[in-house]
Structure formats: structure tokens, C-alpha cells
Amino acid sequence: MTREKGTQKARRPSRIKTPEAIFLGQLATQQSSKYRVAQGFAVLFAVSLVLQAWALANVFSDMALHQSFSISLLVVGLLALLIRALANFGRERICTSASRDIRYGLRRQLVSHLTELGPARTRIEEDAALSTRVYEQVDALDDFFSRYKPQVFMVTLIPCVILLSVVSISWIAFFVFMLTAPLVIIFMIFVGHKAAQANRRQFNVLAMLSNQFMDLNQGLAELKRLNRTTEARGRLSDSATAYQKTTMGVLVLAFLSTATLELFASLSIAMIALYLGLGLLEILPWQVGSAPVTLTQAMFLLLLAPEFYLPLRQLGNDYHAKQKAEAAATDLLEILDARAHATAAEEREPVAQSNLASMVDQLTSIRFHNLSWCEDGRYRFSPISAVIHQGQRIWLSGESGVGKSSLLHLLLGFEEDYQGQLLVNGKPFHEVSLAAWRAKLAWLPQTPEWVNGSIRRNLLLGIETPSEETLQAALVESQCDAFIRQLPAGLDTKLTELGAGLSGGQMQRLSIARALLSKANIWLLDEPCSGLDKETAQAVLATLKRVSKGKTLLIVSHDTHPILWADKHWVLNKGGLHEQPIQAIA
């Protein structure tokens, strides 16, 4: 959230920089001390470069004219070469370290931000595409911070140092440098914009490929049963081919840029060499019979000419890294700016947090008064008015798309841009400490989310480690103990993110066990029987009936899985919320 405020402030005075450039600049300032050290190494590099050229020019001219040379000058030249290499090594190591720290910090920020967004993250992209952004596109910033940004300083420093060294020796060589350098920069920018467009296409295709691969992985068993694996493989192959083509397009532009910059630099160096050669032969049309420079000066200029264009050529090679980073920053900013419509938990009023926490401990009611959620001119759900008292178990049903899950997201605290009133114990919800509120919530989504690890790790993730007796009691109460005992490693059996090896009913029972271990007294359930057959669904609901006694429960379920043991049955439709007798369903 601090970053967003800084971005908004930075956008006001800037009319030229894009939001992506501002964002990248703000990330770079996090490592400004390291970049200053790198600039110090760059200054040392530039000084040693000129000193090396001067010493070696004297050595070569003495060898040509006198068949001898000064050992001391040779030592100075070699020492300058060594200092130059060490300075360049130190500069690269510092910049690499700065890039690594920036990317690691940004990745932590993105993961934390996605965690805060919760289910709302799916409005940005599917999880597979988001993971591509968090890992692939954050790593795409590496070349920008480790190579391009420090090279911008080198492009300013080294040519200026060389021009100052050249101007007192040859005005013609000075003007050749001044006239040819902009040509390299102009073409670099032109090709760079084309590379940016190609990089954006590449990232989009990669996100689509990630989503398709994840969907295929999740639905592979179903595709096999339907005998549709050939079509799925063909679709995935088409996306992979499209990604290959976009990648090759980026490489073509990179090679074209490099080749053109090399051509311009080579022609410019050739112009300097031709001028110096004709001058030493004393056959320049405007200066016949005399040489404009000495042999030592000519050697000095020839040694500096490639070094003058080298930073420009290197910046040209790295310029596509800037365009690639800005293309990646566009997608990363979309994630970080996704919170713009909600109030972050840390910005809530710090009003008597201890009292608010105790208020949640003593929950008496959750009240909706003309509560609605209108986003982009469309109602996620129509205005509703109702109350949930402590210990009540409410069954919420309704057609798909009327806003049942959206209501749960509001109660989870992931969305606050709502209209009307949401009251907890008579207090506005926005005044409640989210940390205290969520500590009392148990959330069971349609598809439980797991991490790679053991069943034990997944059950205890995010909660205080209970005693072994408490853990076993929760497993017995949720009816997980029987099938866990049959697993080869029991609680230490490995789970994948998709829960491979366990049935849907078993996964839901593990979710119930996790809710029991959290000691939450408010349970929110979104279609807990989705995807289960009738018999398994009835068994899961029977378990929920037993373990949820005394809990405040709001469970979303279609009429196909009626919750006959609920205290109230609410039906949500476009006209609002209506209470319906459960006996009418039974």
C-alpha cells in the first residue's frame, strides 16, 4: 500500500514517464546505496580505461619509432588493465546483488498482496497465470536492474570522459564521435519499441499456456474418461507453438538490434581510422604535407574509439531488457493496483483494537441492512437485509450468479467496497480488526486449497500447533481417522496441491478437521458438496451437522443438496433475500 501511494504521488508531476517506468524507478531506489557503489566502480573503470589507452599508445608508438619502449609505461598500462577488470567485476557483482534483492522483495510483496486479495485475485487472472507473473515476469526484471540501469550511467560517463580526453587532441575526431553517437541511440530506441510489443505478446501467450496446462492437469482424469485427451493435447500443442513463435520474434528483434548497432559502431570506428591513417600519411585533402596528430596521439585515439562506442552498443543490446521489464511491469502493476477498490487491513481505524477483538470473541449478531455490492455498474448481489444470531446455522441457496459467494467474500473481509451496512454486534464492519475477525472464522471453499506437504502440515498450516490428543479428537469428530489409518504413512502421507490420492469426500472431511482445529466459532462454507455424488454429499453434510453444533454457520448450497438441519433457509435472487421454510424443501 505504501508503494501505491508513492506511485500516485509520482504520477502527478510526471507527464512523460509511464507508470511502468515510475514503478521500476521506485524499485531501483530500494537499492540506491548499492547502485552508488556501482557508480563508484564505474568512475574507477573510466579513469583506468583512459590511463590504459595513454600508456599503451606511448608503448606502441615507441616500439614503432624507436624499436624500444618504457617498461614503466608498460607496467602502468597493465596495471590500469587489471584495475579496469577488477572495477568491472565489482560493478557487475554489486548490480547483480541489487537486482536479486529487488526481485526477492517484489516477489514477497506480490505473494503477500495476493494473499490479502484472497478469492478476489481471480478477477485479475487464473492462478496459473498469476504464478507465471510472480515467478517468470519478476525474473524478467533481472536484466533491467543488473545490466540496463547501471549501463545507463556508463553510457553517460565513459563517452563524456573520452570526449574530454579527445577534444584537446583532434577536433575532427571529437565531431565524428558527437555526430555518430546519436545514430546508435535513435535506432536503439526504434527497435526497442518493437521489442516491447513483442515481449507483451510473449507474456500474454505464456499466461494462456500456463492456464491451459493447469486446466489440463486438473481435468486429466475426466478427459481420459471422456476419451478427449487427443483434442486437449492438440490445443496445448497449438499454444506451445504460438509461444515458440512469439519467443523467436523477440529473438529476431534482439539480433537485428545488435547487428545494426554493430554496423553503425564499426562504420564510425572506420571513419576515425581512415582520418587518422590519411593524416599520418599527410595526404588529407585539406591538410596536404602535414599530419594533424602525432603517432602517439593517433594510437591513443584508435584505442579509445572502440571504447567510446562499446557502452552505446552494450546499452543497445540491453535496451530490449528495458522494454521487456516494462512489459512485465504492466502485469505486475495490475496485481499491485488490484487493491485500489478496497481498504487494506492496516489502514483501518486503530480504534480500541483490544475492545474490538473482545467484541468478536463475544459475537452476538451479524446484521445486513440494505447491504449490496455494485461493481462497475453491475450488482454482484441486490440489497439485502437480514440478521444472523450467535449459534444460528443458516442455509443460503439461490441460482448461480446471484451473489452467494460474493456475500461470503464480504464476510471474509476481502472486499470492502460495498453499499449499505454490514454490522458485527451492532458495530460497522470496517471498524472491526480484520486479524481478530479472521481468527474466529473458518472458511471452507468449493475446492479446498492445499500445499505440497504432509496431511499433518496441511491440517496445522496457519494455526498454533495443538496437542496430539486434540489433533486426534478433531480427526475422529470429522470422521477422518478411519481413512487416514489406512494410508501408508498416516498423517505423514504426502499431499499435492490437487490432493492426489484422496477422494473429494475425504478432502472435504480434512477441511472440516482443519476448521475444528482452528477453534473458529464462525464457519463460512461455499458449496462444500460441489462435485460430490449424492451419497458422499449426504455423508459430508451429516458430519457437518454433528460438528457444527454451537457454531455460527452460513453455508451456501444448491437445492440439490438441501441442508435440512439448518435453523433457517435463505433464498437469494435478483429481488433480494427471502426466508423460506425448510419444511417446504423437505
Q: What is the pLDDT of residue 103?
A: 93
Residue 50 exposed, middle or buried by CB count within 10 Å (0-12, 13-18, 19+): buried
Q: Give residue 500's pLDDT band: very low, low, confident or very high (50, 70, 90).
A: low
Q: Which residues of 546-579 are buried (b: 16+ CB within 10 A; e: fewer)?
A: ebbeebbbbbbbeeebbbeebebbbbbeeebbee
Does residue 580 carry a pLDDT above 60? yes
Q: What is the pLDDT of residue 190?
A: 66
Q: Are 468 and 504 in contact, with CB atoms under 8 Å apart?
A: no
Q: Are 365 and 390 in contact, with CB atoms under 8 Å apart?
A: yes
Rg of the chain on CA atoms, in Å: 34
Q: Give residue 586's pLDDT band: very low, low, confident or very high (50, 70, 90).
A: very low
In tens, the pLDDT along 138-160 reads 998 998 999 989 988 998 899 89
User: What is the C-alpha to C-alpha distance for residues 269 and 262, in angstroms, rounded to an integer?
Assistant: 10
User: What is the C-alpha to C-alpha distance for residues 200 and 332, in angstroms, rounded to an integer?
Assistant: 12
Q: What is the pLDDT of residue 360?
A: 52
Q: What percent of the chain has pLDDT over 70?
A: 86
DSSP 135: I
Among 569, 120, 551, 577, smallest CA distance to 369 is for 577
User: What is the C-alpha to C-alpha distance for residues 207 and 126, in angstroms, rounded to an integer?
Assistant: 9
Q: What is the mean pLDDT of residues 294-307?
A: 88
Q: Give residue 98's pLDDT band: very low, low, confident or very high (50, 70, 90).
A: very high
Does residue 472 carry a pLDDT above 80? yes
Residue 439 exposed, middle or buried by CB count within 10 Å (0-12, 13-18, 19+): middle
In tens, the pLDDT along 54-74 reads 999 888 888 887 777 788 888
CATH 3.40.50.300 in the chain is located at 352-585
Q: What is the pLDDT of residue 40?
A: 95
Architecture of domain 352-585: 3-Layer(aba) Sandwich (3.40)
In tens, the pLDDT along 237-293 reads 888 888 888 888 777 776 776 777 777 778 888 888 888 888 788 777 777 777 788
Distances (CA, A) of 432 to 351, 386, 424: 9, 19, 8
Q: What is the pLDDT of residue 189?
A: 66
Q: What is the mean pLDDT of residues 480-487?
A: 86
Count the residues in the chain: 586
Q: Is 445 left (phi over 0), alpha (psi -120 to 50) or beta?
A: beta
Residue 462 exposed, middle or buried by CB count within 10 Å (0-12, 13-18, 19+): exposed
User: What is the C-alpha to C-alpha distance for residues 442 and 433, in angstroms, rounded to an integer?
Assistant: 16
Which of 65-79, 147-161, 308-322, 493-507 has the highest average model confidence (pLDDT)? 147-161
Q: What is the pLDDT of residue 79?
A: 95
Q: What is the pLDDT of residue 76?
A: 92
Does residue 421 carry a pLDDT above 80? yes
User: What is the C-alpha to C-alpha distance for residues 10 and 332, in angstroms, rounded to an integer?
Assistant: 18
Q: Which residues of 233-257 are buried (b: 16+ CB within 10 A; e: fewer)?
A: eeeeeebeebbeebbebbeebbeeb
Q: What is the pLDDT of residue 84?
A: 93
Q: What is the pLDDT of residue 81?
A: 93
Q: Are 144 and 29 in contact, with CB atoms under 8 Å apart?
A: no
Q: What is the CATH number of domain 2-341?
A: 1.20.1560.10
User: What is the C-alpha to C-alpha distance for residues 217 and 27, in angstroms, rounded to an integer?
Assistant: 35
Q: What is the pLDDT of residue 400?
A: 79
Task: Locate all alpha helices (DSSP H) within 71-126, ordered by sequence.
Answer: 71-117
DSSP 429: G
Least confident piece of the model among 105-109, 415-419, 441-445:
415-419
Q: Is 423 left (phi over 0), alpha (psi -120 to 50) or beta?
A: beta
C-alpha torsion angle, residues 417, 423, 429, 434 (rounded to 10): -130
In tens, the pLDDT along 527-541 reads 888 777 788 888 888
Q: Are 56 and 77 in contact, with CB atoms under 8 Å apart?
A: yes
On average, the pLDDT of the chain sits at 80
In tens, the pLDDT along 319-357 reads 778 878 888 888 888 888 876 444 444 444 444 444 444
Does residue 50 carry a pLDDT above 70? yes
Is 448 or 140 the better-scoring residue by pLDDT?
140
SS (H, E, C) 284-350: ECCEECCCCCCHHHHHHHHHHHHHHHHHHHHHHHHHHHHHHHHHHHHHHHHHHHHHHHCCCHHHCCC
User: What is the C-alpha to C-alpha distance for residues 125 and 208, in angstroms, rounded to an integer?
Assistant: 10
Q: Are 124 and 130 in contact, with CB atoms under 8 Å apart?
A: yes
Q: What percent of the chain has pLDDT over 90?
A: 13
CATH 1.20.1560.10 in the chain is located at 2-341
Q: Are 554 and 524 in contact, with CB atoms under 8 Å apart?
A: yes
Q: What is the pLDDT of residue 100?
A: 94
Place of cell 545488435: 258
User: What is the C-alpha to C-alpha distance for residues 459 and 544, in angstroms, rounded to an integer?
Assistant: 17
Name the 3-class secondary structure at 362. Answer: coil
Q: Are 507 and 455 in contact, with CB atoms under 8 Å apart?
A: no
Q: Are 250 and 202 in contact, with CB atoms under 8 Å apart?
A: yes
Q: Give residue 30's pLDDT band: very low, low, confident or very high (50, 70, 90).
A: very high
Q: Are 308 and 264 in contact, with CB atoms under 8 Å apart?
A: no
Axis-axis angle for helices 295-336, 149-167 (nearest 10): 160
